[in-house]
Structure 1
Amino acid sequence: MRVLEAADKNFPAGLKKITPKVKKLYSKGNFTKNLFIKSLTVVGARKMTQYGQRVIDNLLPPLVDSGITIISGFMYGVDQAAHKKALELGGKTIAVLGWGIDWSVGASDIKLYREIEEKGLILSEFENDLKPQLWMFPRRNRIMAGLSRAVLVIEAAQNSGSLITAGFALKFRKKLLAVPGPVTSAVSQGTNGLIKSGKAVMITSASDILNVMNWHESVKKKKSQPVNDSKDIIIKLLADQSLTVDEIALSVGQPVDKVSVKLSLLQLKGWVEEKEGKYYSKMDLT
């Protein structure tokens, strides 16, 4: 564990200007000042929907490829999904905790915690094994907003804690970005409200984020797309909506058994996933 005080030359510059002041940080993992140069805080609903997961699956790969550090708060839902995706892509991620640096996380979180500690960075304003308390999370949120160049909100209800982080972003004059969601979804009311009020820039692709932040997109080659056959038609069908195998078969005019085989192949390639009987595209066709 490493302790950084505000007077330390390596103390994150973004935290020196925020209030309430951050006097000390405790860290585990790989601390370098370069982590914060191109960084994005990603926050959102703890009750993340499949739509939220698809947004993360689509937005993060180009950002990670472009060397952007993903910062979040290690809570279940959008936070952990963002950490996991960044690690899966071989990128950099920072977890900012709302409890003492040495407090033991639950059994279901320990694998992710250790992976972030090994490959990324864990930060807390709180020492020892101080257990999480409600008042700690707004203090954590201000750190997440202060560390990054911008805050991206993916799914947030009207009274979501993510809106506290959004408020800090505005207070600290950071870019506030939000992904719109279905008007029928309770966990999109907060994000849609941020966009409607003009407080947040609407984001519908990774390119939007890169352009707003004036960050250069990676020149890495994108994943090869499916060949232009019936599997390609299935991918395009699923790009805008989730469908059952019967609905897909009806749309492409093929027997269910043949479509099932093609879906299995697409799943093996990582281009499609199935949840609760419906299929989703994981490909970025933009």
Structure 2
Amino acid sequence: MKLSDVDRRLLALHYVYPVPFNKDAEILKVDPELHNLFNYHADELARLLHIPKQKAVRLNEQLKRHEQTPFTLLYHHEKIIPIPITNPAYPKALKWLVDPPAVLYVKGDPTILDTTCKVAIIGSRKATDYTKNALSFIVPPLVDQGAVIVSGLAKGADTMAHESTIHFGGKTIAVLGHGLFHLYPYENKKLAEKLAEQHLLLTEYPPYMRPARWTFPMRNRIISGLSESIIITESEEKSGTMSTVDHALEHGKTVYAVPGPITSSLSLGPNKLIEQGAKPIWNGFQALENHSIL
């Protein structure tokens, strides 16, 4: 993928100031090509980025330190493809977010991002065989029609969604809550390696960033943003899964929920969503009704 000069400058800014695009959009309004990125005084950076002067001083020092850093070559060496929001390859669907990622870092097959139909499948980290069995009915029709399955590589439902997609011959995207040098959870190391070779790992965080409690809720908006619809399997009534649902509803995405047995606490989330208007789902064809690929 070809990067422009403004793409490269944005990579440098994002490396030292890894925030969503809405946090540094002002600087691009004033300087669309970022020609002056390495020449701003701390006072100017503080004003443009709406940050304290002391933080701007440190940021200014870091920018000057990395002015000549060959980020594109370094990422290429690690088989990481950076996609800045200023690049034509950046997914248009994410630009609708209030806080779109300034840069995406992907590893694997980036052409998967071009697939029109993407469906997110998410659920509890404590998901049981009920989720695995449900996915055997839901995933095959989606895969057969060329849909890409999006999830978060977490334990439980996410892992099952990725593995089920691979098993049935489909393509899948794992959205991570950390940089590509720090895999989490470690138990999914082999799965992540397979995704990096034949599918796609995607994150908004530079490679050095470690997972933190706040990075995973941020990741959820990307899962929702990339996907045309969301399927929830097992989930507790209050969980990180529900934050993804909130993002989906805010952007008019269709939400499907797998009905569950009333004896299971992991059915509270999807059953409650159905009560509130989510569409119940028990096979993948239902999730394709609103897509044009049928």
TM tier, smaller: 0.7 to 0.9
In the other structure, the counterpart of 1:153 is 232
Cα shift readout 1:106-164 (whole Å, capped 9, x = no counterpart): 55311101111111010001112321111111110000000011111111101121110
Cα shift readout 1:12-62 (whole Å, capped 9, x = no counterpart): 011011022221111100102654411101100110111111001121011
1:96–1:34: structure 2 CA closer, same or farther, 3 Å change rule?
closer
2:288 to 210, 226, 237: 210
1:184 aligns with 2:259: no
In the other structure, the counterpart of 1:16 is 95
Q: Give the partner amino acid of 1:210.
A: L
Residue 289 of structure 2: SS of its match in structure 1? helix
Residue 153 of structure 2: SS of its match in structure 1? coil
Cα shift readout 1:214-248 (whole Å, capped 9, x = no counterpart): 541xxxxxxxxxxxxxxxxxxxxxxxxxxxxxxxx
Percent identity between the aligned chains? 35
The equivalences for 1:1-286 within 5 A come to: 1-32=80-111, 35-105=114-184, 107-198=186-277, 200-216=278-294
Equivalent pairs counted in the alignment come to 215
Q: Give the partner amino acid of 1:26.
A: Y
Provide structure 1 residue ranges, at least 5 long, that are not aligned to the other structure: 217-286
Cα shift readout 1:75-107 (whole Å, capped 9, x = no counterpart): 010101110111112211000001112214455
1:47–1:71: structure 2 CA closer, same or farther, 3 Å change rule?
same
TM-score (norm 1): 0.72
CA distance in 2, matches of 1:102, 1:41: 24
TM-score (norm 2): 0.70
Q: Which runs of 4+ in 1 moved over 4 A?
A: none
1:107–1:74: structure 2 CA closer, same or farther, 3 Å change rule?
closer
CA distance in 2, matches of 1:201, 1:180: 10
- C-alpha contact 1:157 1:188 (8 A) present in aligned 2: yes
Provide structure 2 residue ranges, at least 5 long, that are not aligned to the other structure: 1-79
Q: Give the partner amino acid of 2:283.
A: S
RMSD: 1.4
1:78–1:106: structure 2 CA closer, same or farther, 3 Å change rule?
closer
- C-alpha contact 1:151 1:176 (8 A) present in aligned 2: yes
- C-alpha contact 2:108 2:196 (8 A) present in aligned 1: yes
CA distance in 2, matches of 1:208, 1:128: 38
- C-alpha contact 2:229 2:287 (8 A) present in aligned 1: no
- C-alpha contact 1:178 1:203 (8 A) present in aligned 2: yes
Q: Give the partner amino acid of 2:255.
A: L
Cα shift readout 1:185-232 (whole Å, capped 9, x = no counterpart): 11110111111011x11112222112243541xxxxxxxxxxxxxxxx
CA distance in 1, matches of 2:259, 2:155: 21
CA distance in 2, matches of 1:53, 1:112: 16
- C-alpha contact 2:180 2:207 (8 A) present in aligned 1: yes
Q: Give the partner amino acid of 2:133.
A: R
- C-alpha contact 1:153 1:179 (8 A) present in aligned 2: yes
